[in-house]
Structure 1
């Protein structure tokens, strides 16, 4: 167990993904200064399930990702411009009193996936073709979403890969499952469900379902057949993960 400073956000950080931040709220400026003074560039990021990023009182998820600061600049007006990268998944055991920023007792939560996965021929034979199909699905969905334009769902449309560039996706199913989840044009509810998946096999299967539905929705929209379905379809359309 470890105590980490925590930064609740309205978006989901995945291991391996890049997170740019502009930090202006005093308590989070204090968080960054304390991390820098202690030469400890890590803090936890969790999704705000209800409430706002500003002012406190939000309902925070119990699963998140450790963010490591790789670039920090203090701007003239007191704000910080920060670039972070997600490093590993964590579970929150308990939230501690804010001091002045959120703090939590956390444990690492590794994926259910062996390092020697290539030696498991059955798993490799199953997952690698699924991964190739999913890479193509994500690329197609990003292309379709690009034709519709940013903001079509009333939120930031794209993930980390607005151009749908899947060429550099790893052939390791664990790494690739997070990379494709970050690239996919989905909302925070679906992305959080992918973060929660037990391991890459479950994450790949779930993302494939999400991409299948999303591709059909985007083709429907491009066909000019009318408005969006009211709920349960598309990236975070009702703010809840698929079940």
Structure 2
């Protein structure tokens, strides 16, 4: 019972036009007052904020400023914080746990708060034989990034778990040039093996292997 209660949480949301996956890295330039306050509070209280992607609402008219968010997101833990100016922070955060967004509400200061249900972390799962090809593709991409000394700007950090379905599927999902809807669909998969199945299909069907290496 206690585990069930503790899986629900109220968190500040940072809506973006991208998707953060667990163990992924996201660099943000913070300058709006609501997010400056949010970052200060997260640093002070050592808490996380939620990254959710903005889903375009084609039915909304231009006067309707309400946003529609994906119902799946990822908690972000601030790792690096550089107050370049009093009203400009450069931050680097990493994804921890996925969550399901139950409902969201905008506060008077403009900050969105979300009631979320935390989802289980991916279980460790070795790469099956049929997916060794995409795991090797990720290895090659990491080698290129390391050889060009770009790891500081990479969407992931050490340790590299290239023998684990969850880690490999998350990194490839971040790197693939696919739609937000597809990325959110991948993030929503609770089984990392199924997520990797879907990614392998995307790479093979769209012949993305060469595109990702160039």
TM-score band (shorter)? 0.7 to 0.9
- Structure 1 unaligned runs (5+)? 118-123, 143-158, 162-166, 223-243
SS across alignment from 1:75: strand
Structure-2 separation of matches of 1:216 and 1:15: 23
Counterpart of 2:134 in structure 1 is 134
1:179 to 171, 184, 189: 171
Q: CA deviation at 1:92?
A: 1.0
Corresponding residue SS for 1:21 = strand
**What does the per-residue CA deviation read over 1:130-168, in whole Å, with 9 as the maximum and x for residues that have no partner?**
33122245578x6xxxxxxxxxxxxxxxx837xxxxx94
Matches within 5 A, 1:203-222: 203-215=195-207
The yes-or-no answer on 1:110 pairing with 2:120 is yes
Native 8 Å contact 1:111 1:200 kept in 2:
no
**Superposition deviation, residue 178 in structure 1:** 1.4
CA distance in 1, matches of 2:178, 2:210: 12
With structure 1 as the length reference, what TM-score do the two structures score? 0.66
Native 8 Å contact 1:13 1:64 kept in 2: yes
Matched, 1:72 2:81: yes
Structure showing greater relative contact order (alpha-carbon pairs closer than 8 Å, 6 or more residues apart): 2
2: CA distance, partners of 1:216 / 1:27: 39
Query: What is the deviation of 1:28?
Result: 1.1
Aligned length: 188
Q: Is the 8 A contact 1:170 1:176 kept in 2?
A: yes
1:112 CA drift (Å): 6.5
Structure 2 Cα separation of the partners of residues 193 and 93 of structure 1: 17
Q: Tell me if the contact between 2:73 and 2:98 (Cα under 8 Å) persists in the aligned partners.
A: yes
- Which structure 2 segments of 5+ residues have no match? 1-7, 58-64, 142-153
Cα RMSD (Å): 3.2
Greater shift in the superposed pair: 79-88 or 188-197: 188-197
